[in-house]
């Protein structure tokens, strides 16, 4: 057993069942590189590190960091709810956004149910840790037919706090039948730190509901972040999301979506940016289990300097899910000779009368396009930067909300400015 698991398990204060689950995890240890799901993201260096539990001491966050994030918003700093930075007024009737800790204190049955999810596979160690250690997070619930016009902001800030710290968060985004909302999830660095964040988000989109979900991950350059999103879509549910993986030293996001209702639709697009020595890992697990379901997945990856981007796009169409359509596109750019990109599109079909396609490419900037821009007087660095930005901006170009589209574009531009193209 390594120093990492020892340090993360130290603050455990759960019941006997959770103790047994934790002991089983400690016995199994972290997966090694021969485990297929972790083949491209080894944990040996992380396994030797130790983290203290995130403390209750007040951490100062520069107000400028949140200046561009409007209300309603809920803010967590180093894994703890911060009521002074949050602004929860203005939600319509039938919509609730509260910290998990408050709901647990009020004996809320739905909140308690969030912590009953069980994770037992040896290749999901951080979900198993979250199962026994998470006591905080954001819980958003929207009632049947409720339409929330303004984007709802979930903000998670890592800030300097002395020792390297770790926190475990459990989130829930639940939309009732026919409801509609836009959720913007921010993971931000409020200064240089080397903390570890571990978060699971449960997404429930009921029949006929419509959820727009944006996730901007721009943590501090030495941070470590493990995130998992488990979503379930009911009949005719429409779930559309964009993920921008722009920050942290080591980050891994697992997006698992089950299309369980007939006619459910998923559009999940994203950008992975690995600059410097950053390691970015994204794994998609999309399961079509009902008839006439649809998923469209468009992902762009960039790796510069000595960065490494890993993308696994898994789609399965179960027996009986006839009429389903699935499409995956993963295009990647290598911006330096030392960078690395690993792409694994996987398609499993067990049904008849389906349409499915996937494709992945890894290459460099088009020399013809580069020559064209240089022939028009642009310096090489500017030409490369322009082509790289255009490659990424395809992902955000279709966002209908002009303010949100501008916010996403600005986040991309800040991240691309760090890349020595």
Q: Tell me what the mean pLDDT of segment 101-125 comes to.
A: 92
pLDDT digits (tens, 9 = 90+) for 89-99: 989 999 999 99
pLDDT digits (tens, 9 = 90+) for 298-355: 999 999 999 999 999 999 999 999 999 999 999 999 999 999 999 999 999 999 899 9
Beta strand spans in 143-223 (E)? 152-158, 165-175, 180-189, 196-205, 210-218
Q: Is the pLDDT of residue 66 over 80?
A: yes
Question: Is 0.75 topped by the overall pTM?
Answer: yes
pLDDT digits (tens, 9 = 90+) for 8-48: 999 898 889 999 999 999 999 999 888 999 999 989 999 99
Q: Tell me what the mean pLDDT of segment 280-284 comes to.
A: 98
Mean pLDDT, rounded, of the chain:
93
Q: How many CB atoms lie within 10 A of CB 349?
A: 16
Q: Is the pLDDT of residue 62 over 70?
A: yes
Contact 271, 218 (CB under 8 A): no
Q: Point out the least confidently predicted range of 104-108, 221-225, 391-395.
A: 391-395
Both structure tokens of 138: 């954001």
> Residue 294 phi/psi, 5° resolution?
-140, 135
Candidates 299, 372, 385; CA nearest to 335 is 385
pLDDT digits (tens, 9 = 90+) for 130-140: 999 999 999 99
Contact 164, 154 (CB under 8 A): no
Residues 299-315 as b/e (b if ≥16 CB within 10 A, e otherwise) read: bbbbbbbbbbbbbbbbb
Contact 280, 311 (CB under 8 A): no
Beta strand spans in 260-305 (E)? 265-274, 279-288, 294-303
Both structure tokens of 271: 């950008």
pLDDT digits (tens, 9 = 90+) for 179-225: 999 999 999 999 999 999 999 999 999 999 999 999 999 999 999 99
Contact 126, 199 (CB under 8 A): no
- The percent of residues above 90 in pLDDT, for the chain, comes to 76
How many Å apart are CA 39 and CA 200, to the nearest integer?
22
pLDDT digits (tens, 9 = 90+) for 223-247: 999 999 999 999 999 999 999 999 9
Q: How many CB atoms lie within 10 A of CB 393?
A: 17
Q: Tell me what the mean pLDDT of segment 152-169 comes to.
A: 95
pLDDT band at residue 412 using 50, 70 and 90 as cut-offs: very high
Tell me what pLDDT residue 420 has: 57
Place of tokens 């040896």: 122
How many Å apart are CA 88 and CA 75, to the nearest integer?
10
Q: Is the pLDDT of residue 146 over 80?
A: yes
Q: Is the pLDDT of residue 56 over 80?
A: no
């Amino acid at each position: 057993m390594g120093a990492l698991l020892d340090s993360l398990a130290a603050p455990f204060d759960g019941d006997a069942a959770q103790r047994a689950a934790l002991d089983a995890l400690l016995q199994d240890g972290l997966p090694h590189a021969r485990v297929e799901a972790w083949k491209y993201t080894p944990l040996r260096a992380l396994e030797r590190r130790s983290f203290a539990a995130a403390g209750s001491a007040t951490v100062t966050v520069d107000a400028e960091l949140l200046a561009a994030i409007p209300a309603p918003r809920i803010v967590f700093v180093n894994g703890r709810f911060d009521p002074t930075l949050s602004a929860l007024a203005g939600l319509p009737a039938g919509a609730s956004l509260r910290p998990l800790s408050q709901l647990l204190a009020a004996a809320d049955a739905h909140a308690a149910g969030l912590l009953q999810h069980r994770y037992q596979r040896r290749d999901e160690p951080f979900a198993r840790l979250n199962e026994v250690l998470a006591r905080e997070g954001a819980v958003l619930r929207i009632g049947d037919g409720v339409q929330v016009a303004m984007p709802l902001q979930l903000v998670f800030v890592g800030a300097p706090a002395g020792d390297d710290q770790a926190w475990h968060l459990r989130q829930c985004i639940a939309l009732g039948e026919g409801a509609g909302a836009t959720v913007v999830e921010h993971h931000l660095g409020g200064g240089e730190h080397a903390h570890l964040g571990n978060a699971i988000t449960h997404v429930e989109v009921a029949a006929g509901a419509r959820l727009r979900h944006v996730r901007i991950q721009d943590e501090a350059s030495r941070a470590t972040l493990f995130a998992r999103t488990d979503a379930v879509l009911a009949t005719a549910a429409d779930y559309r999301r964009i993920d921008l993986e722009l920050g942290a030293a080591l980050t891994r996001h697992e997006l698992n979506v089950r299309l369980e209702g007939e006619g459910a639709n998923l559009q999940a697009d994203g950008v992975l940016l690995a600059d410097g020595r950053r390691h970015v890992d994204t794994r998609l697990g999309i399961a079509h289990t009902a008839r006439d379901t649809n998923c469209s997945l468009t992902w762009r990856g960039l790796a510069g300097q000595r960065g490494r981007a890993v993308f696994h796009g898994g789609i399965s169409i179960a027996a009986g899910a006839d009429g389903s359509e699935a499409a995956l596109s993963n295009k990647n750019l290598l911006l330096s000779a030392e960078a690395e990109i690993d792409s694994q599109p996987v398609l499993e079909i067990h049904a008849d009368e389906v349409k499915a396609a996937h494709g992945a490419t890894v290459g460099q900037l088009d020399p013809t396009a580069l020559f064209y821009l240089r022939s028009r007087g642009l310096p090489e660095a500017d030409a490369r930067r322009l082509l790289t930005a255009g490659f990424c901006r395809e992902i955000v170009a279709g966002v209908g909300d002009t303010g949100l589209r501008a916010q996403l574009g600005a986040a991309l531009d800040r991240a691309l400015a760090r890349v020595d193209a």
